[in-house]
Chains A and B, each alone.
Chain A
């Protein structure tokens, strides 16, 4: 069985500060890993995905994530937060690329 754990249901940062959203996964097979963002009243949007190529994955809007097998982690980072980054972020795992198993989400707040 596969699962993801997102540590911290809420994260608050100041504008310009580093964003770090944590995700740990459990998988009995090599995983595919994803980060999605959900803005209020909008659908989920893919930020980035890891599919066993480079371990450092760059996504949209300046976000990136690093796959660390030894730590079973796939944390999402952004060097400098913008007000527009305020949203809910979901980490997801899959054994292929179809059925996604999502975490419970982390709500990011950005203060001026």
Chain B
């Protein structure tokens, strides 16, 4: 079956621009997670959705970052006024419930010039 998909696979933008990163979870998975992986580091938790609501957004670094999941399926991570330090691979994962295994997508590589 289809796994977690993320689009685009690569995104290059200029400092100060706005970007949106999309995640399509596995069908039927109620939990969805966003992580950020900087070069040479492990993934860093950003936000977790249970259904449509953000159950834990403690990992969002500042108010330039925002994520939505309006229908409890697809999620969009939005970054305003991008900075060079935002360059990283943004990973999405989903799980059937919060107690189940998280399945990761291939990530979106964001480069801010």
Contact = CB atoms under 8 A, between A and B. Distances in A.
B79 interface: no
A52 interface: no
B40 A104 contact: yes
B106 A41 contact: yes
Contacts of B42: 90, 92, 102-105
B55 A46 contact: no
Contacts of B90: none
B43 A98 contact: no
A44 B91 contact: yes
Main secondary structure of the interface of A (DSSP, over half): loop
Interface residues of A, number: 20
B105 A43 contact: yes
Main secondary structure of the interface of B (DSSP, over half): loop
Contacts of B48: 98-99
Contacts of A43: 3-4, 91, 103-107
Size class of the contact patch on chain B = 20 to 34
A49 B95 CA distance: 15
B43 A44 contact: yes
Interface in B76-105: 91, 93, 95, 98-105
The 5 closest A-B pairs by CB, nearest first: A102-B42, A43-B104, A44-B104, A98-B98, A102-B43
Interface of A: 36, 41-46, 49, 90, 92, 96-105
20 contacts: A36-B104, A43-B3, A43-B104, A43-B106, A44-B104, A46-B102, A90-B42, A92-B42, A96-B98, A98-B33, A98-B55, A98-B95, A99-B48, A99-B56, A100-B33, A100-B35, A100-B102, A102-B43, A104-B40, A104-B41
